[in-house]
């Protein structure tokens, strides 16, 4: 699936937010608007070959002086809707900055 098709669906309002994404939003202090912004302006990080999903990372503005990155897993199995399976603020210990690539673990 092309990321632009996902963005077109979102711009048309054809998206659903799954409970896991809502739980992270409540816990971490971001909202639906931030998820949408992150996907519309984000970068593709990973495609899941066995599932109709992809991980995107985008920057969003929590307040006038606070920008954050969000990771959003989008599912596009439905021919009309995109589902935000989960959304979360990436952990700085696991991701480089900006959080587009996982950190290498020291062995």
> For residue range 74-103, what is the model confidence (pLDDT) as tens digits?
999 999 999 999 999 999 888 988 888 888
Q: How much is the average pLDDT of 24-42?
A: 96
Q: Is residue 107 part of a domain?
A: no
Q: Give SS3 for 13.
A: coil
Give dist(CA 4, CA 10) in Å, integer.
10
Cα 41 to the chain's mean position, in Å? 10
Q: Taking 80 as the threshold, does the pLDDT of residue 106 lie above it?
A: no
pLDDT of 104: 72
Residue 104 vs residue 40, higher pLDDT: 40
- Give the domain extent around 24: 3-88
Mean pLDDT of all residues in the chain? 93
Please tell me the total count of domains within the chain.
Answer: 1
Q: How much is the average pLDDT of 52-57?
A: 96
Q: Is residue 105 part of a domain?
A: no
Q: Where are the alpha helices (DSSP H) in 1-107?
A: 3-11, 19-28, 32-41
8 A C-beta contact, residue 83 and residue 7: no
């Amino acid at each position: 699936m092309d990321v632009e098709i996902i963005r077109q669906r979102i711009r048309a309002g054809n998206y659903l937010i799954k409970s896991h994404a809502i739980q992270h939003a409540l816990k971490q202090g971001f909202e639906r608007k931030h998820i949408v912004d992150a996907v519309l302006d984000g970068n593709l990080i990973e495609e899941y070959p066995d599932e109709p999903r992809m991980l995107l990372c985008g920057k969003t503005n929590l307040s006038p002086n606070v920008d954050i990155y969000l990771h959003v897993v989008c599912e596009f199995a439905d021919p009309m809707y995109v589902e935000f399976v989960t959304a979360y603020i990436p952990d700085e210990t696991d991701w480089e900055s900006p959080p587009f690539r996982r950190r290498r673990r020291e062995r």
